[in-house]
Amino acid sequence: MLDITNVYKSFNIGTPVQKDALNGVNLHLDKGDFVTVIGGNGAGKSTMLNAIAGVFSVEKGNIKIDGHDVTREQEFKRAKYIGRVFQDPLKGTAGDMWIEENLALALRRGKRRSFSWGISSKEREMFVELLKGLDLGLESRLSAKVGLLSGGQRQALTLLMATIKEPKLLLLDEHTAALDPKTAKKVLDMTDEIISRSHLTTLMITHNMKDAIKYGNRLIMMDGGKIIYDVSGEEKKNLHVSDLLLKFEQASGGEFANDRMMLAK
Ligand SMILES: Nc1ncnc2c1ncn2[C@@H]1O[C@H](COP(=O)(O)OP(=O)(O)OP(=O)(O)O)[C@@H](O)[C@H]1O
Ligand SMILES: [Mg+2]
C-alpha cells in the first residue's frame, strides 16, 4: 500500500543551517498495516509524513501509494489517497461551519466545487450513525458550529472526516498530544476502532512509548532521518519501554532525547 524507496529531504540547502531531515528512508507497508512511529526530537518523523503527503517535494527517492507513483504529484492531487490528522485540533476542521457541513465537505472531497451543497437525508442519517459511534453526544448537534467544540470532540470529528472516504493511507502526527490524558485515551481507542473496522493502512506518530507498543501491528523508530528499528507481530507485543530505550541506544549510539516522550506516562 505504501512504498518509500531511498528518500532524502533537506531544508535550507547550501546554507549554514542546512538540515538533512530524511537520509535515505526505506519503508514498505502492506495493506492494513497499523504502524506506530517513535523517535527523538527532530528525528524526521513529521518530515516523513509530510513527504508522503506531498507538503514539499523530495530531493531523491521514490514514493508509491497503492502502486501509484506520487513522487512528483502535488499535494492536492495525492490527497485523494490520504487521510490526515495533526496535533493541532484547529487544523482539520472549519470552525465557523456546522458539524454536518464539515462532514459533507469531507464526503465531497475530490469532487467538483460546483457539486450541490445540499445535504441529503440519507447523508444526514449516515452522519448521525457515525457521530453516535464516537459516543460524545455530537449526533444531536449536527448544526452546532465546530468552533464551539472541545479539543477532544474536535479531534474525534477530524478523525471521522479523515476516514469517512476510507483513505488508502491514514497519517496521524501526534494527533492526541494536545488533549488531556483521559480525552487522549478516548480518541486513541476510537482511532484504533476505526482503523481495525476499515482495515486502514496507518502511520501513527506518538510521543508515548507505551501507546506505540500497545497500538498497531508494527513499530518503527527513527533517528537522524532514518528508520533504525522496525519490529512487528509477537515481538512487538512483548516489548517494554525499557527495551525500546535500549534498542535506541544500540542503534544510534546515543541516549534517547525527546522531551515529550520522556515525560509521557
Ligand atoms: N520546514 C522546515 N524548514 C526547516 N527545517 C525543518 C522544516 N521541517 C523540519 N525541519 C527540520 O528537520 C528536522 C526533522 O524535523 P521533524 O519535524 O521531522 O522532526 P520530528 O521527528 O517530527 O520531531 P518532533 O518529535 O520534535 O516532532 C528537524 O531538525 C527540523 O528542525
Ligand atoms: Mg514531529
Ligand 1: centre distance to CA 21 (Å): 7
The number of the ligand 1 atom at minimal distance from the alpha carbon of 56 is: 1
* Predicted model pTM: 0.93
Query: Cα 175 vs. chain centroid, distance in angstroms?
Result: 7
Task: Provide DSSP, 150-211.
Answer: -HHHHHHHHHHHHHTT--SEEEEESTTTTS-HHHHHHHHHHHHHHHHHHT--EEEE-S-HHH
Find which of 22-31, 154-163, 254-263 is predicted with most confidence, using mean pLDDT. Answer: 22-31
Beta bridge partner(s), residue 230: 220
Beta bridge partner(s), residue 5: 62
As a whole number of angstroms, the distance between CA 87 and CA 76 comes to: 20
pLDDT in tens, 159-189: 999 999 999 999 999 999 988 888 889 899 9
**Residue 252 in this model has a pLDDT that exceeds 90:** no
pLDDT in tens, 119-150: 889 999 999 999 998 888 999 999 999 999 99
Give pLDDT, residue 258.
66
CB distance 218 to 35 below 8 Å? yes
Report the candidate in 160, 31, 136 with the shortest Cα–Cα distance to residue 85.
160
CB distance 12 to 188 below 8 Å? no
Q: Average pLDDT, whole number, for the chain?
A: 91
Secondary structure (3-state) at 81: helix
Tell which one of 11, 52, 203, 226 to mutate to probe ligand 1, the residue whose CB is within 8 A of the most ligand atoms: 11
Q: Which ligand has an atom closest to residue 48 CA?
A: 1
Query: What is the residue type of 143?
Result: S
258 ligand 1 Cβ < 6 A: yes
Tell which one of 45, 50, 259 to mutate to probe ligand 1, the residue whose CB is within 8 A of the most ligand atoms: 45
Give pLDDT, residue 255.
75
Contact residues for 230 (Cβ-Cβ < 8 A; gap 6+): 218, 219, 220, 221
Query: What is the residue type of 225?
Result: G
